[in-house]
């Protein structure tokens, strides 16, 4: 993991009760071709086997135990300060529900070396369940129902590998931050706790004269939605934080017109989502009775229809359709 001339990188992985995802994430570093990095796991007071597993299976990994669930911002700030104190040239932020790809660090470091005015460089997030699609690429601030829009959300990855480009903000997952920018801009604003902290940091970096860049040829695999997975005992309330932090951001970076725009569009989003779920639930309630009604009628007629003996099993997975309806629903936040 050491190299005499390559810039040093601290890879920060914040985790909370996700040992089942953290282990394959750490195992994926075996593919990395970069010579000078240190993996730092930041544990937010996990109650599962995260801590003993890291100590036993990954003794080369630095483990920092936060002792409690500090949230995304404060939990990662522990690692950012660790990296600053130890003089790392760059910091890579990584979620625990990811897997590394071989060229991630070398590509991001190369972009950082190309221009000292780049504060942060974000990688492409490929959808782990189907890498032909992207989980997301980078973001735009729209002041719409969700404040922001993530470009490349469940979109086909055409693998065009466009050159690095300046964007509004990059996803705080698979992103690299320059040490000098971190010193000047500061760590994450802990008032956000989680959600939109990456938007805020990107804005602050640009206000300080830095560039915020998306790098398409650097990529990670990302499961996504792990902290809201209902299979776990405790999950984050994303609805609360998305609503709260949109206005936290507006208070810092907007004006009264932007606040008004955000208020109106967010209420349009609320009403739109309520209408969608009401209609969708009604449709499913009606369709859910079709088999029963058909069975009643066939029973009254004393017949059996062979084509109705079996039905296709319900498929689980995300809707990756990208039509106008899907785009509208995504704008509304459905």
Distance, C-alpha 8 to centroid of its chain: 24
Topology of domain 9-253, per CATH? Spore Coat Polysaccharide Biosynthesis Protein SpsA; Chain A (3.90.550)
Helices and strands in the chain: count of H runs, count of E runs: 10, 14
pTM for the full predicted model: 0.89
Is the pLDDT at 231 greater than 60? The verdict is no
Contact status, residue 82 vs residue 40, Cβ threshold 8 Å: yes
Question: What is the pLDDT confidence band of residue 2, given thresholds at 50, 70 and 90?
Answer: very low
The span from the first CA to the last CA of the chain, in angstroms, equals 43
Share of the chain above pLDDT 90, in %: 75
The arithmetic mean of pLDDT across residues 256-265, rounded, is: 95
**Could you tell me if 173 and 94 are in contact, meaning their C-beta atoms sit under 8 angstroms apart?**
yes
Does the structure show a pLDDT above 70 at 307?
Answer: yes
Q: How confident is the model at residue 51 (pLDDT cuts 50, 70, 90)?
A: very high
Rg of the chain over all Cα atoms, to the nearest angstrom: 23
φ/ψ (deg, to 5) at 119: -85, -40
Q: Is the pLDDT of residue 66 over 90?
A: yes
pLDDT tens for each residue of 178-190:
999 999 999 999 9
Place of tokens 């601290």: 10
Using N-to-C axis directions, what is the helix angle for 238-253 and 256-287, rounded to 10°?
160
Tell me how far apart the alpha carbons of residues 120 and 93 are, in angstroms, rounded to a whole number.
11
Interacting residues of 8 by C-beta distance below 8 A, sequence separation 6+: 36, 37, 38, 87, 88, 89, 90
CA–CA separation, 310 vs 313, rounded Å?
Answer: 9
CA distance 216 to 165: 9
pLDDT, tens digit (0-9, with 9 covering 90-100), for 215-228:
999 999 999 865 54
User: Which sequence spans correspond to the domains of the chain?
Assistant: 9-253, 256-332
Averaged over 205-216, what is the pLDDT? 98
Pick the more confident residue, 224 or 68.
Answer: 68
The pLDDT > 70 percentage for the chain reads: 94
Report the C-alpha gap between 145 and 190 in whole angstroms: 23
pLDDT digits (tens, 9 = 90+) for 90-108: 999 999 999 999 999 999 9
Tokens 């890498």 sit on residue: 131
SS3 call for 132 = coil
pLDDT band of residue 161 (cuts 50, 70, 90) is confident
**Structure confidence by residue, pLDDT tens digits, 78-92:** 999 999 999 999 999
Range scoring the smallest mean pLDDT among 6-15, 150-159, 212-221, 226-235: 226-235
The yes-or-no verdict on residue 291 having pLDDT over 60 is yes
Residue 214, exposed/middle/buried by CB under 10 A (0-12, 13-18, 19+)? buried
Residue 244, pLDDT score: 94
DSSP 163: P
pLDDT of residue 228: 46
Tokens of 225: 């939605």
Least confident of 17-21, 211-215, 237-241: 237-241
């Amino acid at each position: 993991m050491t190299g005499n001339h390559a810039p040093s990188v601290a890879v920060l992985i914040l985790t909370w009760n996700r040992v089942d995802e953290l282990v394959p994430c750490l195992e994926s570093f075996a593919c990395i071709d970069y010579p000078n990095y240190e993996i730092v796991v930041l544990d937010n007071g996990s109650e599962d086997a995260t801590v003993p597993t890291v100590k036993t299976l990954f003794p080369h990994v630095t483990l920092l135990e936060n002792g409690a669930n500090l949230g995304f911002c404060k939990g990662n700030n522990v690692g950012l300060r660790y990296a600053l104190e130890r003089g790392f040239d760059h910091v890579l932020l990584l979620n625990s529900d990811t897997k590394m790809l071989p060229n991630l660090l070398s590509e991001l470091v190369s972009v950082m070396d190309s221009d000292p005015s780049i504060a942060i460089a974000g990688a492409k997030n490929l959808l782990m369940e189907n890498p032909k699609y992207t989980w997301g690429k980078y973001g735009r601030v729209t002041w719409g129902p969700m404040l922001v829009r993530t470009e490349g959300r469940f979109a086909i990855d055409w693998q065009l590998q466009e050159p690095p480009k300046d964007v509004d903000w990059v996803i705080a997952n698979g992103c690299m931050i320059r040490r000098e920018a971190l010193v000047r801009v500061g760590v994450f604003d802990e008032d956000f706790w989680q959600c939109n902290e990456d938007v805020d940091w990107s804005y602050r970096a640009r206000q300080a004269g830095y560039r915020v860049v998306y790098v398409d040829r650097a990529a990670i695999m990302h499961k996504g939605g792990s902290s809201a997975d209902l299979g776990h005992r405790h999950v984050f309330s994303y609805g609360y934080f998305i609503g709260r932090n949109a206005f936290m951001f507006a208070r810092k970076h907007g004006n009264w017109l932007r606040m008004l725009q955000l208020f109106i569009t967010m209420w349009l989003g609320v009403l739109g989502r309520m209408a969608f779920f009401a209609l969708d639930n009604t449709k499913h309630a009606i369709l859910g009775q079709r088999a029963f009604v058909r069975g009643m009628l066939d029973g009254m007629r004393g017949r059996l229809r062979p084509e109705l003996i079996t039905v296709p099993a319900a498929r689980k997975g995300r809707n990756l359709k990208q039509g106008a309806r899907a785009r509208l629903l995504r704008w509304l936040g459905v």
